Structure formats: structure tokens, C-alpha cells
Structure 1
Amino acid sequence: MPAAETAPPVTAFMLIKTTPEWLAMTPQERVNAFATQVIPAIKAKTTGVRSRFYDTEFYSTRVTDVWVWEADDHDAYQLLIDALRETPFWDRYFEIVDLLVGTENGYARTYGLDPVATITT
């Protein structure tokens, strides 16, 4: 990679499943747990990450939610995962079913092509 270029952002699709402990809480208890136990840990340990959260439990039983993360680089992503592992989110409130991590249009960057698989109608 030429020195003038920066590393592409890292995108992670975190496939997760709620646990009985999480489901036993009221919706307000869940919000409070997330706001007091998860978010502060993320903000304290990393910068350069953004997320979106998708409910999938009405379409799938194996995965109840998909948490999509974008990190500025691999270091920010690693710090995010380290932060999450130190909270009850990781394997207590949610089971991490799979992590699908990649970079958007990596093939296009590698071969100097336009990203033909990115489509907008």
C-alpha cells in the first residue's frame, strides 16, 4: 500500500443471540444494563467505531440480532472487541454466534477497479 493511502475501515457483522438472563430482564432493565455496563466500557477503551443494531429474531432462531460495527482500522476494532469481552454483554447477556469481518469493496481496492458490486437503484 502506498504511504499516502490509509487502511480501509473494518466492518464487522456481529451475529448474536440473546440469553435467558437478558430476556428475564424488563425492557427498562435491559436499557439500563446496556447504558451503564456496555456503552461506558466501549467509550473508555476505543475511538473510531460506529454501530448499527438490527433485530432479526422474527426471521431467525439461530441469531436474534445483528450488531454491525465499523471501525476506522484494525486496532480500533480489536480494542472494541477487547472492551466488549470485559462486559456482561459478551457471553452473559448475548451469545456471540459468529463474527463476519471484512473491508468494503476490498477486491476493487486490490485490483484498482470500480466497486461493481455496490448497487444503488
Structure 2
Amino acid sequence: MSTDTTEPPVTAFMLVKTTPEWLALTVEERVHAFTTQVLPAIQAKTTGVRSRFYDTEFYSVRVTDVWVWEADDHKAYQLLIDALRETPFWDRYFEIVDLLVGTENGYARTYGLEAVTTIST
């Protein structure tokens, strides 16, 4: 039985689709936009947020990218979303298709169980 009483991080899978405006930018312009418009907004509004980005346009026409955001808690996640909404990335460069938010192994925490995981060797 698990005795961990700390709050689990909040993980958000943000499913997005690039817009023609974003695709019209060069790669250098895209990197510049992210580092000068998105990162400063996030850093100014919240702490305890990490991100990973996955390209899916090779396999899906509805969702071109999945952004995985992990926040230390619900407040950090809320501040992250508020920050992102104030940048051109929200509904200008990317259409937000869906947000899937959860906590890892929430069922195990709810029922006081060890998390069931898989290991492949």
C-alpha cells in the first residue's frame, strides 16, 4: 500500500494544429517567436512547469503536435494556461484542438495502491 501523501504533478496533453500563419514562418522565425514570446510569458507568470513537444503531423491531419506540460500543482498549471493564452501561440499560431489533463496513477493514489506499470526488456 502506498503511503505517499504529496500532491502529484499535473500533466496536460495539449493537442494542437498548426495554422497557416505559423507555417508561413521560417524555422528561424518560429524558434525566435517561441523564445521571445512564449518562454518569457511562461517564466514571468509561473514556476514549476516543464514541457516536451511531439510532432504528429506524419500520422494525423487533425492534430499536428502534442505538447506535454507538467506542472508541480494545479495553480502552476492554471498560471501556465493563463500565460499561454496571452501569447500568439494560443489560437493564432496554433489551434488548440483539445486538452487532456490528469495526474499520473491517480487511481492508485485514490485507493492507496501501488501503481501498476509495465517494464519491457
Q: What's the offset of the Cα at 1:8? A: 1.1
Please tell me the root mean square deviation across aligned C-alpha atoms, in Å: 1.0
> Percent identity at matched positions?
85
Answering whether residue 110 of structure 2 is matched by residue 119 of structure 1, we say: no
Q: Partner of 1:53 in structure 2?
A: 53
Deviations 1:16-69 (A, max 9, x none): 000000000111111111111111100110000101000000010000000001
Q: 2: CA distance between counterparts of 1:120 and 1:94?
A: 35
Q: 2:11 and 2:95 mapped to 1: Cα distance?
A: 20
The aligned counterpart of 1:62 is 62
**Which residue is 1:94 aligned to?**
94
Q: Which consecutive unaligned segments of at least 5 residues does structure 1 have?
A: none
Distance in 1, matches of 2:54 and 2:79, equals 22
CA deviation after TM superposition for structure 1 residue 72, in Å: 0.4
SS at match of 1:5: coil
User: SS state of the match for residue 88, structure 2?
Assistant: coil
| Residue of structure 1 equivalent to 2:105 | 105
For 1:99, the aligned partner's letter is: L
Instruction: Quote how far apart the aligned CAs of 1:88 are.
Output: 0.3
1:75 is aligned to 75
Regions of 4+ moved over 6 Å:
none
Measured in 1, the distance between the counterparts of 2:37 and 2:49 equals 18
Question: Unaligned 5+ residue runs, structure 2?
Answer: none
Name the structure 2 match of 1:26: 26
